[in-house]
Structure 1
């Protein structure tokens, strides 16, 4: 595990490219590095959190079509701005909100927690293994030559993003395609993860307070996974 100084250096070096801000000047990213995680045991609090998220999704969908929910509608517009078709590649927030009505997927402890927080706060949220990063996280518009390590039909494959696609990447390649649509295998969270990076993507109408509250809720939920859970954070806003 890297020392605290390394996590601070990592956060300071993370960037959002100007070309992304040109697409959505209202975009903000809240990044958290959480260390001291111990995931060997399951926690009843996680089940309760997931149930709350599922109930919240059902309440939202009962009052409005999913694609009309304001936070999801904002991400549909953002996807269209770089050429993605939200009907075919939904933001992680929309995909989870739709699935939560019938039951959220269970992946692993960390992923299950951040999925629940994403639905509860209606903010796209991703998590990755800090020790598997190669350099800082960078939100860029892809050239189309970057590599993306994923799975297709049950087999590992390497894909390339579309030119102009908004992607999260590090120095080794793409870590998440289409802003927050699909994360790669290389930096994926596992039950062996001890230090994790979480990225909360925010567009209007999310307020600064709502974004901060989502970050606090995530850290509160993760505090159950270890006696010495610690976090560093950084907010990246429009320059």
Structure 2
């Protein structure tokens, strides 16, 4: 099989041993798999593709527990895990790669344990936690000097509450924050300290008073409806 840099697999059905052929493709740097069933052995093949710089796994099915580690990627920069298969254990196995710059975990089964683990990713610039059960308590672990300085933080449709917002505000530096359709209240936004470096704040789906909207518009460059 000829060498290639990008492999995209969608709704694939494998014969035994097919996936293992990719193990030796040293030029493969980007892997995208969607709506496909993988075995534990096939996940093990992925974990040994240490040259990968981008991994996107969405709506994957696996009837076995994923027990392999994913900390052998020397230059992994872009990670997207999507779907209920991925919980804290699986996500945190990938987050041991400190070279990560973009982490997207929408619609996964993660909790604030994974959010806490993200505090060690000092190179990370973008984090997407949308449509998860995260409430923001994990931001308490973002206090150390190695915590990332973010360009974009996506918290849309999460369980982010007023306490989580307060924790975020005192620990996180971010330029663009989306907290649309969360549990954050009008009163919490009024009391919340100014978020470091924040320019764009998205608040769709939140019920806000005119006074709070004016308060936020005075603080930040752009505040969405």
Return the TM-score normalized by structure 1: 0.23
Q: Which has the higher contact order (CA 8 A, sep 6+)?
A: 1
Structure with the greater alpha carbon radius of gyration: 2
Could you tell me the TM-score, scaled by structure 2's length? 0.24
Higher share of residues assigned helix: 1
